[in-house]
Amino acid sequence: MVKDIGRASSKWQTNAANAQADYRAGVQGKGGKWQSNAAAAEGLWAQRIQEAIASGSRVAGINAVGGTNWEQATINKGSANYLTGVRDPMSVAKYQQNFGPILSAIASAVQALPPRGPPMSAENLQRAQAIWQAVHNAAQARRGGGVTPTGTYGTTPTYGGGF
């Protein structure tokens, strides 16, 4: 006899809620394997993403979920997990590791800024550009290099490379 959907979903919820230890055990010690397999599959991942875009299945999935459902799931699930993630010592360490160099670059750039000018002056635009450039350079260095913007403030930068 096939269970009705109410009974099946209740059983799924109960069993899934009790599977936290199994979930953890299934992940523990597998980080290296995950990393190597995920890196090795980069080309296939890119191919499948392009196929999903070309076939329309990506946007069909987005539309099937809908904005209201996405919003409610994010509020109900994501917000409950947000604080847990923020308080996690590993998250704090990663934040410091990733944002620390950028904050240091901002502090250094502020020390070297030219004097302020009148509101909306070229001097103030140069100060803003110096901060932007410091943040950009620190972010690129943290990522191991990357493209370097060229151009002047007030224009759309062009990049020596490509995205």
Is the confidence at residue 128, as pLDDT, over 90? yes
Q: What's the pLDDT at 17?
A: 78
Neighbours of 64 (CB within 10 A): 9
Is the confidence at residue 160, as pLDDT, over 50? no
**How many whole angstroms separate alpha carbon 158 and alpha carbon 163?**
11
CA separation (Å) from 91 to 15, 94, 98, 114?
29, 5, 10, 36
Task: Supply the pTM of this predicted model.
Answer: 0.54
Q: What's the pLDDT at 148?
A: 52
Is the confidence at residue 119, as pLDDT, over 70? yes
Q: What is the pLDDT of residues 73-106, one digit of tens each?
A: 999 988 888 888 888 889 888 888 888 899 999 9
Is the confidence at residue 159, as pLDDT, over 90? no
> Domain limits of the chain?
91-163
CA separation (Å) from 47 to 22, 41, 53?
32, 10, 10
Q: What's the pLDDT at 126?
A: 94
- Going by pLDDT thresholds of 50, 70 and 90, the confidence category of residue 146 is low
Region 24-37: what's the mean pLDDT? 92
Q: What is the pLDDT of residues 32-48, one digit of tens each?
A: 999 999 999 999 999 99
Helix (H) or strand (E) holding 159: strand 158-159
Is the confidence at residue 157, as pLDDT, over 90? no
